[in-house]
């Protein structure tokens, strides 16, 4: 088929999670193969592609706003909508021109071909198809997309899993993303080796429900329990193989389901020296009544046991989390119980989310919906607690020699300042003698700013973390 995309300008916009960012980068690489020219989203373009999000009603609104913005920016452009909002709501737009083409999840690798065919049909005077959205039942197999999603040219994200089977009462993602599916081991390792050869020191292993990696062929019971009957631990196995790749010096994990943090898993993880001691365990609430209403599969006691295991096998690990405030039926006492639990765990950071009603979820239909004012007030209170806990955690490391991956170097009044994160994901800023972006260095923290940036001095350059 004739290449109708060559030399056309295309602008991309990603909304939502790191997985979306990874997939957008993979889509960009496919379009480059067609000879397109990438421009900024605020520029005039022939094609606009928006990778949408639907995790909350606010995300839905933002997705629609960005599609409107693209249409307004150049009415003659082709506007493509893809992602989770499309998967859930494309059918609502059959009679409008919000976008020219709608592509749902697990079909993103087809977008360039779809667009090329769209142009061909228009050229022939035919009416092109606009909607490419699988039924939920078709969201099965893993869509293999390769990308180098790079953060500051030294840290790359790598998606190895898609879908979720957990069906928390507030979440639409299992419907938008489909059942769990895992990337092939050989493809994961091949991409990691390519990243290492390209000079990337750290990879962030991510997925929609990372803890379900490798379980799609298991029984529904095994999938629900995140545990294979024969004792296999697929996620630990692939992390072990990634750790053997020369050049990859750090492996950081995306969000983990607390229940995967068993004694066996944690002990095995601790034997992999490249694993960063930074673990994101999504709590969502520190109140058992609320956890039950959310359809989370653990209690606060079980969550705390997971945290204790991590602290048993890792030296002062950073434990970060998500907490939703203002869930339907959450009383002031429930909220205070959740805050008290967060303080008892002593998280190094809490991502706080006021509950957002999401059409299509069980929680949207629950009684006891709280006002926006109450949710905001509770979120503000918990954010203050998070800021205090974060400072207390990182202040304890002042004066210690710490390895930092330099992400950026900027000049200020003739001084070069480096900025980067340590293995526990503390953010450091310090003067350097030259542009050391992408290098691993040792620093000693001296102070912490009000926004929790650790001021430091560099003491050595290293090339490998032992």
Contacts of residue 14, Cβ cutoff 8 Å, sequence gap at least 6:
20, 21, 24, 51
Question: How much is the average pLDDT of 251-267?
Answer: 97
C-alpha to C-alpha distance for 30 and 44, rounded to whole angstroms:
21
The reported pLDDT for the residue numbered 465 is 43
Token pair 């088929």 is found at 1
Both structure tokens of 323: 């907490």
For 180-226, what is each residue's pLDDT tens digit? Answer: 999 999 999 999 999 999 888 999 999 999 999 999 999 989 998 89
The reported pLDDT for the residue numbered 313 is 98
Residue 256: pLDDT over 60: yes
Which phi and psi angles does 437 have, rounded to 5°?
-55, 130
The reported pLDDT for the residue numbered 172 is 92
For 399-433, what is each residue's pLDDT tens digit? Answer: 999 999 999 999 999 999 999 999 999 999 999 99
C-alpha to C-alpha distance for 174 and 140, rounded to whole angstroms:
12
Residue 324: other Cβ atoms inside 10 A: 25
Question: How much is the average pLDDT of 285-292?
Answer: 98
- 155 — pLDDT class (breaks 50, 70, 90): confident
For 291-308, what is each residue's pLDDT tens digit? Answer: 999 999 999 999 999 999
Q: At what angle do helices 185-197 and 234-243 cross, to 10 degrees?
A: 30
Residue 143: pLDDT over 90: no
- 466 — pLDDT class (breaks 50, 70, 90): very low
For 39-80, what is each residue's pLDDT tens digit? Answer: 999 999 999 999 999 998 889 999 999 999 999 999 999 999
Q: What percent of the chain has pLDDT over 90?
A: 85
List the Cα angle 96/100/101 in 5-degree steps: 115
For 166-182, what is each residue's pLDDT tens digit? Answer: 999 999 999 899 999 99
Strands 454-462 and 278-280: unpaired
List the Cα angle 54/113/208 in 5-degree steps: 30
Q: At what angle do helices 300-313 and 332-345 cross, to 10 degrees?
A: 10
The reported pLDDT for the residue numbered 136 is 60
Pick the closest to residue 27 from 6, 12, 43 (CA basis).
12
C-alpha to C-alpha distance for 423 and 444, rounded to whole angstroms:
14
Strands 415-422 and 427-431: antiparallel
Residue 154: pLDDT over 90: no
- H/E run at residue 392: helix 372-395
Question: How much is the average pLDDT of 89-106?
Answer: 93
Residue 135: pLDDT over 90: no
The reported pLDDT for the residue numbered 464 is 45
For the chain, what is the mean pLDDT?
A: 93
C-alpha to C-alpha distance for 276 and 438, rounded to whole angstroms:
17
Q: Which residue has the higher pLDDT, 199 or 367?
A: 367
Which phi and psi angles does 252 have, rounded to 5°?
-110, 140
Residue 119: other Cβ atoms inside 10 A: 18
| Cβ pair 157, 195 in contact under 8 A | no
- 359 — pLDDT class (breaks 50, 70, 90): confident
**Structural domains in the chain?**
9-134 (3.40.50.12160), 149-391 (3.80.30.20), 401-462 (2.40.50.140)
Pick the closest to residue 417 from 406, 405, 403, 401 (CA basis).
406
CB burial string 1-17: b at 16+ within 10 A, e below? eeeebeebbbbbbbbbb
Residue 147: pLDDT over 70: no
The reported pLDDT for the residue numbered 282 is 94
C-alpha to C-alpha distance for 411 and 66, rounded to whole angstroms:
34
Question: How much is the average pLDDT of 15-35?
Answer: 93
Residue 148: pLDDT over 60: no
Pick the closest to residue 139 from 172, 114, 174 (CA basis).
174
Q: What percent of the chain has pLDDT over 70?
A: 96
């Amino acid at each position: 088929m004739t290449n109708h995309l060559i030399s056309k300008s295309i602008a991309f916009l990603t909304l939502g999670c790191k997985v979306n960012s990874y997939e957008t980068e993979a889509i960009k690489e496919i379009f480059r193969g067609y000879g397109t020219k990438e421009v900024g989203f605020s520029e005039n373009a022939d094609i606009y592609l928006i990778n949408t999000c639907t995790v909350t009603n606010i995300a839905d609104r933002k997705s629609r706003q960005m599609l409107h913005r693209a249409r307004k920016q150049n009415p003659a452009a082709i506007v493509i909508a893809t992602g989770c909002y499309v998967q859930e709501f494309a059918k609502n737009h059959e009679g409008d021109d919000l976008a020219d083409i709608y592509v749902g999840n697990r079909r993103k690798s087809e977008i360039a071909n779809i667009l090329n065919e769209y142009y061909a049909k228009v050229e022939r005077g035919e009416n092109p198809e606009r909607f490419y959205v699988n039924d939920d039942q078709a969201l099965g197999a893993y869509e293999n997309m390769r990308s180098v999603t790079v953060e500051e040219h030294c840290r790359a994200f790598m998606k190895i899993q898609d879908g979720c089977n957990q069906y928390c009462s507030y979440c639409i993602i299992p419907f938008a993303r489909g059942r769990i599916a895992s990337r092939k081991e050989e493809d994961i390792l091949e991409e990691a080796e390519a990243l290492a050869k390209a000079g990337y020191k750290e990879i962030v292993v991510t997925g929609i429900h990372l803890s379900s990696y490798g379980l799609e062929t298991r029984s529904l019971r095994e999938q629900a329990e995140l545990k294979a009957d024969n004792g296999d631990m697929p996620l630990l196995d692939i992390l072990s193989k990634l750790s053997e790749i020369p050049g990859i010096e750090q492996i950081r994990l995306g969000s983990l389901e607390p229940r995967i943090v068993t004694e066996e898993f944690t002990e095995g993880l601790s034997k992999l020296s490249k694993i960063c001691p930074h673990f994101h365990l999504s709590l969502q609430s520190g109140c058992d009544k609320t956890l039950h209403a959310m359809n989370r599969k653990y209690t606060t006691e079980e969550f705390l046991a997971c945290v204790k295991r991590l602290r048993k096998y890792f030296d002062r690990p950073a434990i970060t989390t998500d907490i939703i405030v203002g869930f339907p039926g959450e009383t002031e006492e429930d909220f205070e119980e959740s805050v008290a639990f967060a303080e008892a765990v002593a998280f190094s950071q809490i991502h706080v989310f006021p509950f957002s009603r999401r059409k299509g979820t069980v929680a949207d239909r629950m009684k006891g919906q709280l006002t926006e004012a109450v949710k905001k007030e509770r979120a503000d209170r918990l954010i203050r607690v998070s800021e205090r806990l974060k400072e207390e955690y990182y202040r304890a490391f002042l004066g210690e020699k710490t390895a930092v991956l330099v992400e950026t170097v900027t000049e200020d009044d003739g001084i070069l300042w480096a900025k980067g994160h340590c293995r526990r994901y503390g953010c450091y800023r310090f003067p350097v003698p030259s542009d050391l972006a992408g290098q691993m260095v040792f620093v000693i923290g001296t102070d912490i700013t009000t926004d929790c940036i650790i001021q430091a001095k560099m003491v050595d350059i290293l090339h490998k973390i032992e």
